[in-house]
Structure 1
Amino acid sequence: MFIEPKTPHSDTVWDECELWSRDRIEAFQHEALARQLARVGRTSAHYAKVFDEAGFDPQGFSGAADLKRLPMTRKTDYVAGLAADPPFGTFRAVEARDMARVHFSSGTTSRPAPVLWSHGDLGRWADLYARYLYAQGLRRGDVFHCMFGYSWFVGGLGASLAAHHLGAMVIPGGSVDTKRQVETIVEYRPRAVIGTPSFMAHIAEAAAGMGVDLPAGSVELVMVGGEPGASVPGTRQRIERLWGAKMFDCYGALEAQPIAWDSALQIGPHIAEDFLFVEIVDPETGDDVADGERGVLVLTHLDKEACPLVRWWTGDVVIRDSSPAPDGRTHARLPGGVLGRADDMLIVRGVNLFPSAVEDIVRAHPGTSNEYVLVVRDAMRDPNTGMLRGIGLRVEAAGGADPEGLREALGSVLRDALSVRFEIEVLPPDTLPRTVHKAKRVVQE
């Protein structure tokens, strides 16, 4: 599907809704929620049942607080819906003739799950995605080198569709053949590249090994998604240094594309509040938390047609800031991006530890490579409580660093910053596996 380029609202803003007042955003969301809940209750077998069991009549919707009467929707619910009515499940809310696209989950924790798009969804997706690429600096006529995967994965086709809509020229490189990716960057001189943080770090390593000076090249914008990274200061600093370019966070998920993306200011991804109604909740109680407090992101689609979700539990831990940005954009931001996943959080001697906190320190520390792995070992658990007393960490020495000196220095920094004991293994360069898709940073041994 090719969508014609659109004329943006201004030199800096794609859509005028990015500048709406908070009152206008909330009024829009109220009207959109009323329409969407009424439609979902009619067309989605899953939500028709959920609404009935909760005694929820969408025709009587009076405000966002009414959503609290409904249960969270979790991945287990979605998977159960697929089993109940294969292959597309009970969440489907369009007829077969209106289905235009299906993408699949990675299948890392369960069988790959399909998510549908209608023709209207594809147009909406392209426009939202283009909005964020534009906010980060991509312009019509730029060369855009896409290094997200295209096989099954949602990222590659979504990014390409959006860049076409914006008017850029797209190189659909995918996430394979590292040497050719580097050669393509040298020959075709893209202004912007996009991929996972892990693959961007891997490409930079490979380029250096090939004698290619990326910072002296054409790339000015490095856009990343698929895993935390661009909002982790240590990772951002490292990749910006390796590429000699600005790096931007692009936050989405298969079930909700897109969610929130950086602007050129790099002060936290802006939520697409004309597409999603957002709740930030306490993971234990489900109660709303205030702006500035950590909580789990819960999403409700405002106009998704084919596979709408109501109160979708993302599992992602975030902080919201609803104040206007210095550039005039008013949609709420997520300072620090995704801070971790509620189900990935480790508790070590009573300290809540997210892998992203370790990543920030490791990637900012001199003498380390881009790669690291956290190791959870049963031997490091208290025999009485089963709680972790420490955690393993594998890193690579780089740049001729002394392994023992690196181990001691890094251990000291981690201990002081995180109040956690790490058993650090310093490995030779190129020991840890390089990742071209989503990196696995925590392993059990």
Structure 2
Amino acid sequence: MPADAAFGQGRPFREGIWDERETWSRDRLAAHQREALTAQLAYLAAASPFYAERFRDCGFAPGDFREPADLGGLPFTTKDDYRAALDAELPTRSRLLACDPAAVVRVHFSSGTTGQPTPTYWTRADLARWTDLYARYLYAQGLRPGDRFQCMFGYSWFVGGLGATYAAERIGALVIPAGNVDTKRQIETIFRYQVDAVIGTPSFMAHVAEAALEGGRDLRQSRVRLVGLGGEPGASVPATRRRLAEAWGAEVSDCYGSLEFQPIAWDVGDGLGPALTEDFFLAEVIDPETKRPVADGTPGVLVLTHLDKQACPLLRWWTGDMVVRRRVESPDGRTHARLEGGVRGRADDMLIVRGVNVFPTAVEEVVRAAEGGTGEYRIVVDPALADPVSGSLNRLKLIVEAGPDAPQDFVERLQARVKEQLSVRAEVELVEAGALPRSVHKAQRIVRL
């Protein structure tokens, strides 16, 4: 597919808005999605061995496509499908690859936390699109030419670091590609080079702020005014957001993406929730049980379809992320739908406690809002606390760090707050500050025994 000449120009549409597409009317956006999907489906049928076979098996003729609802009869594409499509000897021969392998100029890998790391590919046009979308959102969050931008996402294997680096350069910022190592040097660089904006995972940003105070430096006295957070759902957890905003003395923004779709939805400075990139993909929100679409305002799993990806386009990709979508128009003219409250959690991480659905992000909100705690915690999924018949947990088990100023009744207060906010009982084990390991990448706060 030809690259869109509009991408990669590096010029903002107007102050605060990078791309005119962000302000298209809902009707124009829907027309764009229909037109792009028509072309993308034809491309998949001709160039993707995986989807060509899937279309034949389902009796789906891309030429019969008229509306996005027509995709409803096609199966979702899952991580298992992705792994099965890889060639065992040479993964670049994936059956999901839809371009000449010689046109692939970049490969990034999944973290491998649930199995063998899997690759995703980009052509030059894909990279230009990716960079422009990242620039769109960094610009919306306030990054400007001449700003000093310290990228604290990892660069080793992780996808986020290079995307943020290229986007900040596109805007015209001075980029410091710091990665997520050497905390002491990170802090020194922020102050010495008068950094204006940073980006990283919530866990690493919390760790850096904590280390700075321990070393006698207060990040609130730095020049940092913008903190971008991605890689974990914490940025949209109000208590986590407040803690980090206070620790850094800066505006905190959620930056949601995945290896397969870069980016998905980022805050744009209006407080309405992360804005979906609806000119880059079609978004569906699906009930995880019935596998049917849900109405706006109803929780469901986000399912995405590329509109113009070349190297590894995906159709009805099951993200596994629970979200609530709202179609609202921002006062500044932005029209793309929002994810209310960001990512609520992973569908497969949802816990059932005496019949109540509990997401880890809800637990995080309660724990981090508790006065006297450090904000560090673990959720322990202990089979000994489960009903032998239903498998549902009888209560939550939490390991929580208490700070030096924690009140004597900290446990009782926290248990009462859990009961009040989540409608479940909690067994709380206190540990001293610093007892739980810190993460410099993606924190794993659920422990399964």
Paired residues of 2:8 and 2:129 also in contact (CA < 8 A): no
Query: Could you tell me how far 1:83 is from its partner in structure 2?
Result: 4.0
- TM norm structure 2: 0.97
Report the equivalent of 2:326. 321
d(CA) in 2 for partners of 1:266 and 1:224?
15
1:155 and 2:160 equivalent? yes
1:70 and 2:69 equivalent? no
Query: Residues 261-276 of structure 1: matches in 2 within 5 Å?
Result: 261-276=266-281
d(CA) in 2 for partners of 1:141 and 1:59?
48
1:216 and 2:221 equivalent? yes
SS at match of 2:397: strand
- Which stretch shifts more, 218-227 or 87-96? 87-96
SS at match of 2:85: helix
Find the partner of 1:44 among 44, 48, 51.
48
1:15 and 2:19 equivalent? yes
Find the partner of 1:437 among 413, 426, 441.
441
Paired residues of 1:5 and 1:166 also in contact (CA < 8 A): no
SS at match of 1:247: strand
Find the partner of 1:333 among 312, 334, 338.
338
Paired residues of 1:41 and 1:48 also in contact (CA < 8 A): yes
SS at match of 2:86: helix
Paired residues of 2:235 and 2:253 also in contact (CA < 8 A): yes
Amino acid at match of 2:423: S
d(CA) in 2 for partners of 1:367 and 1:399?
7
Query: Could you tell me how far 1:213 is from its partner in structure 2?
Result: 1.2
1:419 and 2:423 equivalent? yes
Query: Could you tell me how far 1:356 is from its partner in structure 2?
Result: 0.0
SS at match of 1:316: strand
d(CA) in 1 for partners of 2:404 and 2:137?
36
Paired residues of 2:120 and 2:259 also in contact (CA < 8 A): yes
d(CA) in 2 for partners of 1:387 and 1:19?
46
Amino acid at match of 2:44: V
- Which stretch shifts more, 144-153 or 211-220? 211-220
Paired residues of 1:150 and 1:174 also in contact (CA < 8 A): yes
d(CA) in 2 for partners of 1:399 and 1:121?
50
SS at match of 1:230: helix
Query: Could you tell me how far 1:243 is from its partner in structure 2?
Result: 0.5
Query: Could you tell me how far 1:388 is from its partner in structure 2?
Result: 0.8
Paired residues of 1:84 and 1:90 also in contact (CA < 8 A): no
1:294 and 2:299 equivalent? yes
Question: Structure 2 unaligned runs (5+)?
Answer: 1-6
1:257 and 2:262 equivalent? yes
Find the partner of 1:135 among 131, 140, 143.
140
Amino acid at match of 2:255: C
Query: Residues 244-393 of structure 1: matches in 2 within 5 Å?
Result: 244-393=249-398
Amino acid at match of 2:349: D
Paired residues of 2:220 and 2:248 also in contact (CA < 8 A): yes
Query: Residues 70-219 of structure 1: matches in 2 within 5 Å?
Result: 70-83=74-87, 86-88=90-92, 89-219=94-224
Q: What is the percentage of aligned positions where both structures have the same residue?
A: 57
Paired residues of 2:240 and 2:365 also in contact (CA < 8 A): yes
- TM norm structure 1: 0.97
Distance change (3 Å), C-alpha of 1:4 and 1:15: closer
Paired residues of 1:298 and 1:312 also in contact (CA < 8 A): yes
SS at match of 1:374: strand
C-alpha distance after superposition, 1:300-336 (max 9, x if no partner)? 0000100000000001010111121222110011010
Amino acid at match of 2:59: G
Query: Could you tell me how far 1:242 is from its partner in structure 2?
Result: 0.5
Q: CA RMSD in A?
A: 1.2
Report the equivalent of 2:3. none
d(CA) in 1 for partners of 2:97 and 2:216?
50
Distance change (3 Å), C-alpha of 1:24 and 1:58: same
SS at match of 1:215: helix
Amino acid at match of 2:217: V
Paired residues of 1:149 and 1:156 also in contact (CA < 8 A): yes
d(CA) in 2 for partners of 1:252 and 1:85?
29
SS at match of 2:389: coil
> How many pairs does the alignment contain?
442
Amino acid at match of 2:365: D
